[in-house]
């Protein structure tokens, strides 16, 4: 443990607020724009080993073949979007309150500082690819709902049913257990147990050999959301932010908290002010806790991942479960690895 971290822990022990102390460190060195990056290229994603490999190996192969970091992160994001087994992103994602799968995604490219996003997009398996077209082929940055669908179809995307049998059964179980004051009954054998609503999402962030930065965030959003609800993932600065001077950050978890703290922008700004990606991700988690008035005031959780042009990676969540969450996977010339991030509170 670094001396600084030990120092901060001791302060916390005596009831002194870490966020305040961290802010006093913000005058530290700002990464010079011309500083030569090391360990590049690098691509990271907000998943543990199994999904990390599935996503990052094709992303890396694409980068090797095309040299294009946008192609690479899109190829990685598409893997999880197209996989029906993942219930938090793209095809197979858990639906909204009415059983309709409604997807959010964003993309951002450092050299142009351009971005594109889609929100509440239905029937298209790969929303991150539609977001990329919004960035590359329109003068807009965000398309939602019916307009986003029409735009996707204009570009040749096929409308498909995104609700898998697995997702439908999870949704039905949730719906039938919502209330004992409505007309939906769970099965008489009592097989359903009310479950916590799950979260998911993936951030895929990359920096190419020249030091150009790009990022994608893609999700089916909060399971059981009110139709029309848009989370943080398609909102630039919330679920994703990229700054070619320093790096990229992405968020997962309760989007409402990330929106009201401009979470990913906050992480990137902290990196610009001199914090490491790890310190910046922790600062964003602390900010959310701070505006909520403490860790015990609600059941929210959020996680940030970030990477800078030195090839340093950060991963932090508000609440962690040892061996389960939070993780970040990384691929670079040094190979593939998964590392466990930090958490403000470890749960059983």
- Nearest to 246, CA basis, from 282, 284, 210, 212: 212
If one asks whether residue 219 binds ligand ASP (CB under 6 A), the answer comes out as yes
SS3 114: strand
| Residue (60 or 241) nearer to ligand ASP, CB | 241
**Which of 201, 218, 219, 252 does the annotation list as catalytic?**
201
Full 3-state SS string of 210-239 = CCCEEEEEEECCCCCCCCCCCCCCCCECCC
| Distance from chain centroid for Cα 162 | 21
CB of 93 to ligand ASP, least distance (A): 10
| Residue (60 or 266) nearer to ligand ASP, CB | 266
**Piece of 113-121, 215-223, 268-276, 332-340 that binds ligand ASP (CB under 6 A):** 215-223
Q: Which of 76, 110, 221, 326 binds ligand ASP (CB under 6 A)?
A: 221
Q: Which of 101, 222, 328, 330 binds ligand ASP (CB under 6 A)?
A: 222
If one asks whether residue 284 binds ligand ASP (CB under 6 A), the answer comes out as no
For residue 122 the two structure tokens come to: 């239905």
How, if at all, do strands 114-121 and 142-144 pair?
A: parallel
Distance of alpha carbon 338 from alpha carbon 152, whole angstroms: 34
Q: Is 120 left (phi over 0), alpha (psi -120 to 50) or beta?
A: left
If one asks whether residue 126 binds ligand ASP (CB under 6 A), the answer comes out as no
**Piece of 150-158, 182-190, 199-207, 291-299 that binds ligand ASP (CB under 6 A):** 199-207
Q: Which of 87, 252, 278, 329 binds ligand ASP (CB under 6 A)?
A: 252
262: CB partners within 8 A, 6+ apart: 237, 238
- Nearest to 36, CA basis, from 226, 207, 189: 207
**Piece of 30-38, 119-127, 198-206, 337-345 that binds ligand ASP (CB under 6 A):** 198-206
SS3 326: coil
Determine whether 12 is an active site residue. Answer: no
**Piece of 48-56, 230-238, 266-274, 305-313 that binds ligand ASP (CB under 6 A):** 230-238
| Residue (35 or 98) nearer to ligand ASP, CB | 98
Distance of alpha carbon 154 from alpha carbon 217, whole angstroms: 23
If one asks whether residue 253 binds ligand ASP (CB under 6 A), the answer comes out as yes
Phi, psi of 109 (to 5 degrees): -125, 120
Instruction: Considering only residues 82 through 111, tell me which ones interact with ligand ASP, judged by CB under 6 A.
Output: 88
CB of 255 to ligand ASP, least distance (A): 2
CB of 229 to ligand ASP, least distance (A): 8
| Residue (62 or 87) nearer to ligand ASP, CB | 87
CB of 46 to ligand ASP, least distance (A): 9
Distance of alpha carbon 93 from alpha carbon 200, whole angstroms: 9
134: part of which helix (H) or strand (E)? Answer: helix 127-137
How, if at all, do strands 313-321 and 302-308 pair?
A: antiparallel
Site size with ligand ASP, rule: CB under 6 A: 14
4-to-7, 23, 228, 261 alpha-carbon distances in Å: 5, 14, 45, 26
If one asks whether residue 127 binds ligand ASP (CB under 6 A), the answer comes out as no
Q: Which residues bind ligand ASP (CB under 6 A)?
A: 88, 199-201, 219, 221-222, 231-233, 252-255
Active site residues: 201
């Amino acid at each position: 443990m670094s001396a600084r971290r030990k120092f901060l822990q001791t302060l916390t022990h005596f009831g002194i607020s870490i966020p305040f102390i961290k802010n006093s460190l913000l005058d530290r060195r700002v990464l010079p724009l011309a500083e030569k990056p090391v360990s590049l290229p690098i691509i990271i994603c907000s998943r543990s080993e199994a999904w990390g490999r599935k996503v990052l190996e094709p992303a890396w192969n694409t980068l090797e073949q095309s040299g294009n970091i946008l192609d690479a992160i899109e190829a990685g994001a598409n893997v999880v979007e197209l996989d029906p087994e993942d219930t938090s992103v793209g095809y197979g994602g858990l639906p909204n309150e009415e059983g309709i799968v409604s997807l959010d995604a964003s993309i951002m490219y450092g050299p142009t500082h351009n971005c594109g996003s889609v929100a509440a997009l239905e029937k298209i398996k790969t929303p991150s690819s539609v977001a990329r077209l919004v960035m590359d082929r329109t003068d807009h940055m965000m398309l939602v709902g019916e307009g986003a669908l029409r735009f996707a179809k204009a570009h040749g995307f096929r409308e498909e049913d995104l609700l898998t049998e697995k997702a439908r059964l999870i949704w039905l179980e949730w719906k039938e257990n919502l209330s004992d004051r409505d007309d939906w009954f769970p099965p008489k054998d009592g097989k359903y147990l009310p479950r916590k609503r799950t979260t998911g999402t993936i951030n895929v962030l990359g920096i190419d050999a020249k030091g150009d930065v790009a990022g994608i965030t893609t999700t089916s959003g909060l399971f059981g959301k009110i139709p029309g609800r848009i989370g943080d993932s398609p909102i630039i600065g919330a679920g994703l932010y990229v700054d070619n001077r320093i790096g990229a950050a992405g968020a997962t978890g309760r989007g409402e908290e990330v929106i009201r703290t401009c979470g990913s922008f906050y992480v990137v700004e902290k990196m610009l002010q001199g914090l490491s990606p790890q310190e910046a991700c922790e600062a964003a988690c602390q900010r959310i806790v701070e505006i909520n008035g403490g860790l015990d005031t609600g059941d929210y959780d959020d996680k940030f991942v970030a990477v800078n042009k030195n090839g340093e990676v950060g991963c932090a969540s508000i609440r962690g479960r040892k061996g389960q969450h939070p993780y970040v996977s990384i691929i670079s010339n040094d190979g593939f690895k998964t590392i466990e991030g930090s958490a403000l509170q470890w749960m059983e």
